[in-house]
Structure 1
Amino acid sequence: MTPQTTSTGVDDPALTSLRRWNLGLTALHLAQAVAMLILASDFAITVIGSYPQGPPGTALAEAEPIFDVRIGVAVTLFLALAGIDHLLTATVFRRHYENDLRRGINTFRWVEYSLSATIMLVLIAFYSGIVEITALIALIGANVAMILFGWLQEVMNPPGRTTTTMLPFWFGCIAGGAPWVAIGWNLLAAEVVPGFVYGIFVSLFVFFMSFALNQWLQYRQVGRWHSYAFGEKGYLVLSLVAKTALAWQIFGGSLAG
């Protein structure tokens, strides 16, 4: 018997369908990016730093502003990154994208997520009150590590494998969970939190965890997730819904006028 070399469900009709999906998602993401750039106010959040003034245990100095982040621009950026990714995979890099899918990998997905999802997480952290530079760097590192573990999960489980390892998946869950613990802690400790911020936290936590669930279902080959192409569509839907939900919750809460 010839070893399987192509992912289950990744045939010519599925790839044609995915191209149409990517073109559609290009339009939806870029249209939202343009709308956000036009409609959003100049609201910004300041990133701060507070540094030790002596030996360990010495009180930190009063926090100093480092730079401002225009929230509307940041939201526009993560929407535009997704749109550009979908455009490239449907056109210029279509062959590379489709060859990757046949091998059970989507490198474009993981590169885009490492940028767009990290911007999203930083914005969620901002709205929970985490604005200190070193804390943000740590959250960024944990989130990128989570995404790279997702990539590694695909690399380590090619089509035709005799066994499936979930080790990178579980390591990614640990890395990806840490920022949410920090954000949740801040929300619980805060005296006043606007209702829309709770909405952002709950909805985006559910969406971020849904990406993990989609991958778990893929590698456990549960039901329709036996097809790698079906799991790929799951990622496409989740990416659009999560980005749209965060963008317009932020807009409604702080950028509308």
Structure 2
Amino acid sequence: MGTYPLELNTASVNVPSQAAKRLRIFNAVIGLLHLVSGSAMLALSNDFALPVSSFALNGPPGTPVSQGTLNLVFELPLGIAAASFLFLSALFHFLIISPWGFRRYIGELSKGRNRFRWVEYSLSSTLMIVLISLLLGISDIAALIGVGFANVAMILFGWLMEMANNGLMHEKNGRSARGERAWWTPFWFGCIAGAAPWLAAAAYLIINVGIEGGEGPPGFVYGIIVSLFVLFNIFAVNQWLQYKQLGRWKDYLTGERTYIVLSLVAKSLLAWQVFANVLVS
């Protein structure tokens, strides 16, 4: 498994002033585009909502499911929720470029990390995975809480990966000044945690389709699920490239710029694919 390699506050990445200025402008533009996109969703939205439910057995453990009762806890407006996903992203981009946040943001990057990113992802990506689960029919509130916190765990492992390896980014071949390689344990633990919501979704689809008389979703829905899976997990690929230090990813700032691009491209595609259900309905 390796050892915990480096101090948490090692200054390891050079962030030139010109690069810092470009990052500030980049974050401002992406934040603005998220704001516009989210506002468009609100304008196009209707009252379509997804039910969040609970199930009561109405008896002791072992009571037949047929005697149970499905209870509506609340309904989640899909349009507002999808727009909120983009608004959260916009908020953190604007926080980064603010006078208070920008100095701290550059300080984070100089240490090979960005805790602003992980806090935002823990909120926005968790909202998105809950929405995807609801669209697939997983409506039980206990299941949604489990799915949500599994996703939060994945994000926190990503945070830990950066914190534990923040001194590697200025060295060649993925080794620190003391000859240590990246500590991959947090990354792989994050992959395990992140797989849980998708395994739950797959199991839900397979079991429901396998039930006698069960009807699965149309074929195009499976294509959408696959694309959502790819978009959702491409962020992990970026981190893998960073700590493998492949090609341009030997420079930590390349990974940071890629995260910003993904913030626009992948998040927008995720949000609009989910929001399309509002328009179809």
Q: What residue identity is the alignment partner of 2:148? A: I
| Pair 1:170 & 2:170 matched | no
Aligned residues: 255
Gap runs ≥5 in structure 2:
1-6, 169-175, 210-214
> In structure 2, what is the equivalent of residue 73 of structure 1?
80
Q: What is the CA distance between 1:256 and its match in structure 2?
A: 5.6
**Distance in 2 (alpha carbons) for counterparts of 1:72 and 1:54:** 37
The 3-state SS of whatever aligns with 1:46 is strand
**Matches of residues 68-147 of structure 1 in structure 2 within 5 Å?**
68-92=75-99, 93-147=101-155
More divergent stretch after superposition (229-238 vs 47-56): 47-56
| Pair 1:225 & 2:249 matched | yes
Q: What is the CA distance between 1:13 and its match in structure 2?
A: 2.4
**Matches of residues 184-203 of structure 1 in structure 2 within 5 Å?**
184-188=202-206, 189-190=208-209, 191-195=215-219, 197-203=221-227
**Distance in 2 (alpha carbons) for counterparts of 1:141 and 1:20:** 33
Q: What is the CA distance between 1:195 and its match in structure 2?
A: 4.8
**Matches of residues 29-68 of structure 1 in structure 2 within 5 Å?**
29-60=34-65, 61-68=68-75
Q: Conserved in 1, the CA contact under 8 Å of 2:50 and 2:75?
A: yes
**Cα RMSD for the two superposed structures:** 2.0
Q: What residue identity is the alignment partner of 1:152? A: L
**Distance in 1 (alpha carbons) for counterparts of 2:278 and 2:56:** 30
Q: Conserved in 1, the CA contact under 8 Å of 2:231 and 2:270?
A: no
Q: 1:151 to 1:29 in 2, by over 3 A?
A: same
Q: What residue identity is the alignment partner of 2:85? A: F
Q: What is the CA distance between 1:90 and its match in structure 2?
A: 1.2
**Distance in 2 (alpha carbons) for counterparts of 1:8 and 1:222:** 16
> In structure 1, what is the equivalent of residue 19 of structure 2?
14
> In structure 2, what is the equivalent of residue 240 of structure 1?
264
Q: What residue identity is the alignment partner of 2:122? A: S
Q: What is the CA distance between 1:158 and its match in structure 2?
A: 1.9
**Percent of aligned pairs with the same amino acid:** 49
> In structure 2, what is the equivalent of residue 212 of structure 1?
236
**Distance in 2 (alpha carbons) for counterparts of 1:158 and 1:204:** 30
The 3-state SS of whatever aligns with 2:56 is coil
Q: Conserved in 1, the CA contact under 8 Å of 2:57 and 2:69?
A: no
Q: What residue identity is the alignment partner of 2:74? A: F
Structure with bigger gyration radius: 2
Gap runs ≥5 in structure 1:
none
**Distance in 1 (alpha carbons) for counterparts of 2:96 and 2:63:** 52
Q: Conserved in 2, the CA contact under 8 Å of 1:39 and 1:256?
A: no
**Distance in 2 (alpha carbons) for counterparts of 1:121 and 1:196:** 19
TM-score of the aligned structures, taking structure 1 as reference length: 0.92
**Distance in 2 (alpha carbons) for counterparts of 1:173 and 1:203:** 18
CA deviations 1:167-199 (Å, max 9, x no partner) are 000000000011111112223333231455324
**Distance in 2 (alpha carbons) for counterparts of 1:196 and 1:7:** 46
CA deviations 1:5-32 (Å, max 9, x no partner) are 4344533222222111101101110001
Q: 1:168 to 1:232 in 2, by over 3 A?
A: same
Q: Conserved in 1, the CA contact under 8 Å of 2:78 and 2:275?
A: no
The 3-state SS of whatever aligns with 1:67 is strand
> In structure 1, what is the equivalent of residue 30 of structure 2?
25
